Chain A
């Protein structure tokens, strides 16, 4: 069963992608983009995981002789989360402006003009 977390990451990504492709609503698309991005958290943390490993924080555990998980993927994940929220906010403000302009959130109803 050692592949299940990877399969989970792929599943989350594909669910988000399905949502993006089939969506008829810009706010729904933004949420789907966030779902897609959540797959990267699961994948990163799964890559760095080590069976029975503890967190790479040595405040009260010795540095030597401990099984710890990879700190690099954890740091990538934490900046990833903050950035995903900021980008979601930006996408939502785009959706708001698109609604003001077209009176609709359906991307299919928006005529793109150069």
Chain B
């Protein structure tokens, strides 16, 4: 396709996009006057219906749990495709690469930060039903703890802590248990991903039934998926350095 043709094609589609944007924006309510009713309904129902304090988590893992399954599958497929595309460098022996982090202070505080991040991540996943947080946010923080080891300590430490044989099953177990719970709920309750577990006492870690379970499942999936992606890119980086050193 020639450059002129592409520019023409873009201009035509830009006109269409502009018309759609204007049409969509004109129909929006004025900022700060959210009209409801769905958000208000959810906000008033999560506590009596599910014993869940955080309405956002209740939407993610219960009321719209099926959408979240779709999001998890996007993550799963993206991480899997990244691993497949970058698989060639896996065979590189990177044990002779000189570690780039030389400062003792950076290494010490990096290790400390990794531990703090790891505990914070577990905390965020565990309290998803009570306070802002949940599996997605906590999973990212957990993966960031491992990435901090790579950035501030050394690659080999990261590679030992989160090798592919650990992160790949971690992601699969996370996504798989989400899927399997849906099937179990289908068998017991009659609809996929229905909240069939006891809701427990409001305000406890175990309250809100399957929301907690699915939050942990997606926490594992997100952490594992990000570790797969980080691991692939880190290995790529090390392999490039390996090629240069020859």
- A57 close to B34 (CB less than 8 A): no
- Chain A neighbourhood of B34, CB < 8 A: 47-50, 53, 69-70
Residue from B38, B43, B71, B233 within 8 A of A92 (CB atoms): B233
Per-residue contact bits, chain B 19-34, to A (CB 8 Å; 1 contact, 0 not): 0010001001111111
Closest to B221 in A: A82
Tell me the dominant secondary structure on chain A's binding face: helix
Per-residue contact bits, chain B 95-132, to A (CB 8 Å; 1 contact, 0 not): 00000000000000000000000000000000000111
- Chain A neighbourhood of B229, CB < 8 A: 86, 89
Given A56-B55, A58-B53, A68-B43: A82 in contact with B136 (beta carbons within 8 A) = yes
Number of B residues, CB within 8 Å of A: 58
- Interface pairs (5), CB distance under 8 Å: A3-B30, A56-B43, A59-B54, A59-B130, A69-B39
B137: interface (CB < 8 Å): yes
- A82 close to B140 (CB less than 8 A): yes
Inter-chain contact total with CB atoms closer than 8 Å:
146
Within the complex, the shortest CB–CB distance from A21 to chain B, in Å, comes to 6
Binding site for B on A (CB under 8 A): 2-6, 10, 17, 21, 46-51, 53, 55-59, 63-64, 68-75, 78-79, 81-83, 85-87, 89-90, 92-94, 96-97, 108
Given A56-B39, A72-B59, A87-B78: A46 in contact with B31 (beta carbons within 8 A) = yes
Within the complex, the shortest CB–CB distance from B36 to chain A, in Å, comes to 8
- A79 close to B60 (CB less than 8 A): yes
Q: Which of B38-92 contact A (CB under 8 A)?
A: 38-40, 42-44, 46-48, 53-60, 64, 67-68, 71, 74-75, 78-79, 81-82, 85-86
